[in-house]
């Protein structure tokens, strides 16, 4: 007879809270929620060193920060940066930090042979990043061979719309795509493309590693992975609306009391997709609505598959609300939305897809597909600065046109630490949002600023630091960004304007 397992929400969480986070579903919506760097400074990085500098330049290790990444991050451009944060030159390490978002832009962000490591960290979002071929043996070495690894008091992490891959298994020098251990809790893994790896990942590194769990996997695409989807010890996992193709050894593997609720997933070309494997220390499963095509179930002394009879051994209650897609839609839906540069596409609840809500979304200046960087959500529309005119108070470097050419490599600098840069149109234009992007290597220099309607002299907004600025839409022909102070000569790569 199946046992009943009730998982209670902690720290004052509720179903309403889960719904309020929009695109974020799952356990990461509980325990206070996961917002990453929402509301914080926005910086842009194209090297690992710049990512480390951005983390170490914050006023405090919990000051909210959004880091947009473009280009290839590798060992050659990653160096250790000193400060209150703890960085390395062999991985991108979030250690003893919180309130961070690491987001790839629409121009692409590839972490080539260099992994992402979370340790003693909380409230972290990783989106639209491609990580490949991270090694634990051979060369170069990084992150114990994990694409993303979490350990030692990690909580509230959202891993969304990434691509994680390896070129083989442990004998080839690789470990896992996502590992969680040593008290890692309240994690959501959604809309990722994970492929060509010996190991998907584990939750709990040994039978004595008992304090992990509360992990949600939904709308992920798994292709050609041997095992560990996931390997689960002791903890609780909710897996729904995932697509698995090509499991060569074993898939979901709850053991030694681990429990998994698996709903409306699709398995194709798989061996032992669900059960307790390689041990007699049994786990538990609660199964409903899953589709199995060309699946083999192998039962022996240490393999205890859930099929082919597919009888649940537990009844698991989930403490958050979530949108469950029909099983027949899952394969096509996941193929259309999972992975990088999909516009953060997600289910529309009716067997179709829609752009993501932009909550800590992708690059706000890539045409609007990925939403805004301030957590406000919604498609900001087209960048109105493209095709407009521009002028300013002075030119220390570059030209005024460099802030409206869509090229982050070109920029304007004033002749000093203050100055004005403006966007102008030949006729009245409605503007309700501005995004100021600092040039690579100049991040964090802009301090005090005002945004002014040049037509009337009205101050539309004021603040500190570059990033996204939203205000009540106003019709104007010229808008001024006045840099009042900076820590050193600033450089504006793009002055983007949007209708809303």
pLDDT tens track for 137-146: 999 999 999 9
Mean local confidence (pLDDT), 316-343: 95
The half-sphere exposure of 200 on its side-chain side, counting CA atoms within 13 A, is: 30
Q: Which residue, 423, 418, 500, is CA-closest to 455?
A: 423
Mean local confidence (pLDDT), 431-459: 91
Mean local confidence (pLDDT), 271-298: 97
Residue 275 CA to residue 252 CA, distance in Å, equals 6
DSSP letter for 31, please: T
Quick check: helix, strand or coil at residue 334?
helix
Residues 6+ apart with CB under 8 A from 151: 118, 119, 179, 180, 181, 182, 184, 205
What's the pLDDT score for residue 382?
Answer: 82
What's the pLDDT score for residue 157?
Answer: 98
Residue 78 CA to residue 260 CA, distance in Å, equals 38
Bridge partners (DSSP) of residue 101 are 66, 125
Do the strands 253-255 and 346-347 form a parallel or antiparallel pair, or are they unpaired? unpaired
Q: What is the pLDDT of residues 232-249, one digit of tens each?
A: 999 999 999 999 999 999
Its CATH class, for the domain covering 389-498, is mainly beta
Sorted by where each begins, the domain ranges of the chain are: 27-337, 389-498
List the single range of 200-204, 229-233, 446-450 with lowest mean pLDDT: 446-450
Q: Does the pLDDT of residue 14 top 90, yes or no?
A: no
What's the pLDDT score for residue 366?
Answer: 40
Kindly state the percentage of the chain with pLDDT values over 90: 77
The CATH superfamily label for domain 27-337 reads Single-stranded right-handed beta-helix, Pectin lyase-like (2.160.20.10)
Placement of tokens 């059960």 in the chain? 275
Mean local confidence (pLDDT), 388-413: 92
Q: What is the mean pLDDT of the chain?
A: 89
Mean local confidence (pLDDT), 175-181: 98
Q: What is the pLDDT of residues 348-370, one digit of tens each?
A: 988 888 887 554 555 544 433 33
Do the strands 154-160 and 122-127 form a parallel or antiparallel pair, or are they unpaired? parallel
Q: Can you read off the two tokens belonging to residue 487? A: 């820590």
Burial class (CB in 10 A: 0-12, 13-18, 19+), 35: buried
Residues 6+ apart with CB under 8 A from 116: 91, 92, 94, 102, 126, 129, 131, 143, 147, 148, 149
Q: Which residue, 259, 223, 253, is CA-closest to 238?
A: 259
Residue 47 CA to residue 109 CA, distance in Å, equals 10
Candidates 119, 228, 233, 255; catalytic one? 228
Mean local confidence (pLDDT), 287-291: 98
Kindly state the percentage of the chain with pLDDT values over 70: 91
pTM exceeding the 0.95 threshold for the entire prediction: no
The answer to whether 228 is a known catalytic residue is yes
What's the pLDDT score for residue 367?
Answer: 32
Residue 191 CA to residue 311 CA, distance in Å, equals 28
CB 94 within 8 A of CB 87: no
Q: What is the pLDDT of residues 57-80, one digit of tens each?
A: 899 999 999 999 999 999 999 999
What's the pLDDT score for residue 363?
Answer: 53
Q: What is the pLDDT of residues 152-170, one digit of tens each?
A: 999 999 999 999 999 999 9
Mean local confidence (pLDDT), 88-92: 97
Q: What is the SS3 assignment for 64-98? A: CEEEEEEEEECHHHCCCCCCCCCCCCCCEEEECCE
């Amino acid at each position: 007879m199946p046992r009943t397992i009730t998982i209670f929400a902690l720290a004052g969480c509720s179903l309403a809270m889960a719904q309020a986070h929009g695109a974020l579903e799952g356990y990461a919506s509980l325990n206070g929620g996961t917002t990453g760097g929402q509301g914080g400074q926005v910086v842009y990085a194209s090297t690992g060193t710049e990512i480390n500098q951005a983390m170490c330049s914050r006023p405090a290790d919990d000051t909210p920060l959004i880091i947009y990444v473009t280009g290839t991050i590798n060992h050659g451009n990653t160096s250790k940066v000193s400060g209150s944060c703890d960085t390395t030159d062999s991985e991108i390490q979030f250690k003893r930090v919180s309130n961070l978002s690491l987001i790839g832009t629409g121009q692409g962000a590839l972490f080539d042979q260099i992994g992402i490591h979370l340790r003693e960290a909380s409230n972290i979002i990783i989106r639209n990043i491609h990580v490949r071929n991270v090694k634990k043996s051979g060369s170069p070495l990084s992150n114990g061979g994990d694409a993303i690894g979490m350990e030692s008091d990690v909580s509230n992490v959202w891993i969304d719309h990434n691509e994680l891959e390896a070129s083989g298994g442990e004998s080839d020098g690789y470990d896992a795509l996502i590992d969680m251990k040593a008290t890692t809790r309240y994690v959501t893994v959604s809309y990722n493309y994970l492929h060509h790896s010996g190991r998907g990942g584990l939750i709990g590194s040994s039978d004595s590693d008992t304090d992990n769990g509360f992990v949600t996997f939904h709308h992920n695409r798994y292709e050609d992975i041997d095992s560990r989807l996931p390997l689960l010890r002791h903890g609780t996992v909710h897996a729904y609306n995932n697509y698995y193709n090509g499991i060569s050894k074993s898939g979901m593997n709850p053991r030694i009391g681990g429990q998994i609720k698996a709903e409306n997933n699709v398995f194709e070309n798989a061996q032992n997709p669900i059960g307790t494997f390689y041990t007699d220390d049994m786990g538990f499963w609660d199964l409903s609505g899953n589709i199995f095509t060309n699946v083999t179930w192998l039962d022996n002394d240490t393999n205890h598959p859930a099929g082919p009879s597919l009888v649940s051994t537990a009844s698991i209650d989930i403490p958050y609300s979530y949108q469950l897609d029909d099983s027949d839609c899952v394969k096509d839906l996941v193929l259309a939305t999972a992975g990088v540069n999909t516009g953060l596409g997600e289910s529309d609840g009716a067997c179709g897809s829609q752009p993501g809500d932009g909550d800590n979304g992708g690059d706000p200046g890539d045409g609007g597909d990925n939403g805004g960087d301030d957590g406000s959500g919604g498609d900001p529309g087209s960048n109105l600065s493209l095709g407009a005119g521009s002028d300013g108070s002075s030119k220390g470097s570059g030209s005024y046109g460099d802030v409206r050419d869509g090229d982050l490599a070109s920029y304007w600098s004033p002749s000093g630490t203050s100055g004005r840069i403006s966007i102008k149109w030949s006729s009245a234009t409605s503007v309700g949002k501005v995004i100021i992007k600092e040039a690579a290597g100049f991040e964090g220099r802009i301090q005090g600023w005002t945004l002014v309607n040049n037509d009337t002299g009205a101050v539309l907004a004021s603040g500190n630091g570059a990033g996204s600025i939203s205000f009540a839409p106003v019709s104007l022909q010229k808008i001024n960004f006045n840099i009042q102070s900076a820590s050193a000569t600033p450089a504006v790569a793009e002055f983007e304007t949007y209708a809303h």
